[in-house]
A and B are shown apart, each in its own frame.
Chain A
Amino acid sequence: GAGVSQSPSNKVTEKGKDVELRCDPISGHTALYWYRQSLGQGLEFLIYFQGNSAPDKSGLPSDRFSAERTGGSVSTLTIQRTQQEDSAVYLCASSYSGGKGYGYTFGSGTRLTVV
């Protein structure tokens, strides 16, 4: 597609339930990133996928968070047993590998609210 697509755009879930967030990166982009933005905070790195390499999971805040990327394209971020502190906007971005100076292309995000 023309841009990075994320779904759903909004998700309200009850505490303790599992949620799945989806990201469709730009076709041909080999790198895919997940960030989240909590209220009043900057963008917090979560996880990074590059081609067929093992993902960099160093930003995942707990073992309730996991992500996968199938076929080097679509990615799913899963949050198990959601907590209220998980409420945030979850942003996905993709880029060409090595395009250091050109930044990432972000999706519009998924606003997750845990009640």
Chain B
Amino acid sequence: DQQVKQNSPSLSVQEGRISILNCDYTNSMFDYFLWYKKYPAEGPTFLISISSIKDKNEDGRFTVFLNKSAKHLSLHIVPSQPGDSAVYFCAARNNNDMRFGAGTRLTVKP
């Protein structure tokens, strides 16, 4: 039962351009949505989150958009940098139950 889905396993973007990572969910009870970034041989690190009562949250180069009616969220990174190359996990939380997507591997080419 995959409640959080990331349908693109990989994404390649040129340095300086925008990266858009997408995520879909099925459970309308989720009240927080989060993005994590993971480098090889490291644990995921928290990047940015958004409450279900908002539709946008911005933090520097990172912006998360939430479309509740479509049960869809996206992470925009602009401008993309080579150091952003990592696996990005989308997560959705309902109380203490947090579910993760399968991840999208972002490669930013110099």
Answer whether A56 and B44 are a contact pair too, CB < 8 Å, given A42-B4, A42-B89, A42-B103: no
Q: List 16 A-B contacts (CB under 8 A).
A: A35-B100, A40-B9, A41-B102, A42-B89, A42-B100, A43-B91, A43-B100, A45-B97, A48-B97, A50-B96, A93-B43, A101-B32, A101-B49, A101-B51, A103-B46, A104-B46
Residues of chain B having any CB pair with chain A under 8 Å: 2, 4, 6, 9, 31-32, 34, 36, 41-46, 49, 51, 89, 91, 93, 96-103
- B residues less than 8 Å from A33 (CB atoms): 98
> With A45-B98, A50-B96 as given contacts, are A105 and B31 in contact (CB-CB < 8 Å)?
no
Set of chain A residues within 8 Å of B89, measured between Cβ atoms: 42-43
**A101 CB → nearest B CB, Å:** 5
- What distance in Å separates the Cβ of B2 from its nearest Cβ neighbour in chain A? 8
